[in-house]
A = this chain, B = another copy of it.
Amino acid sequence: MSRQFKGIDLNKRNEIPQAVITRLPRYYRYLSQLVEKGEYRISSLALSRLMGTTASQIRQDLNYFGGFGQQGYGYNTKNLCDRIGDILGNNDCYNTVIIGAGNLGKAIASSSSFAHTGLFLKCLFDVKPEIIGQTVCGCEVRHIDDIDSFWAENRVDVAILALPPSAALAVAEKIASLGVQGIWNFSEVELGLDPEKVAVRDVHLVDSFMTLCFDIKRNEKKY
Which residues of A pack against B, CB within 8 Å? 5-6, 8, 10, 13, 16, 21-22, 24-26, 28-29, 87-90, 92, 94, 102-104, 106-108, 110-111, 113-114, 117-119, 157-158, 181-184, 188, 195-197, 199-201, 203-223
A24 touching B211 in the complex, CB below 8 Å, given contacts A106-B103, A107-B107, A182-B216: yes
Q: Report the Cα distance A111→B103, complex, angstroms.
A: 10
- Besides A25-B208, A87-B223, A103-B103, 9 other A-B contacts (C-beta < 8 A): A13-B221, A26-B204, A113-B188, A118-B213, A182-B212, A183-B212, A196-B219, A197-B219, A199-B218
A223 contacts B107, CB within 8 Å?
Answer: no
Chain B contacts of A13 at CB under 8 A? 218, 221, 223
Q: Report the Cα distance A88→B206, complex, angstroms.
A: 11
Could you give 24 example pairs across A and B, Cβ below 8 Å?
A: A6-B222, A10-B221, A13-B223, A25-B206, A26-B207, A88-B211, A90-B213, A92-B217, A102-B107, A103-B107, A103-B110, A113-B206, A117-B206, A117-B209, A118-B213, A157-B216, A158-B212, A182-B212, A182-B215, A199-B212, A199-B218, A201-B209, A201-B211, A203-B205
A21 contacts B182, CB within 8 Å?
Answer: no
Chain B contacts of A184 at CB under 8 A? 208-209, 212
A216 contacts B199, CB within 8 Å?
Answer: yes
B209 contacts A119, CB within 8 Å?
Answer: yes
B213 contacts A92, CB within 8 Å?
Answer: yes
Partner of A108, one of B5, B188, B205: B205
A213 touching B113 in the complex, CB below 8 Å, given contacts A22-B207, A103-B107, A207-B25: no
Q: Report the Cα distance A218→B138, complex, angstroms.
A: 31
A204 contacts B25, CB within 8 Å?
Answer: yes
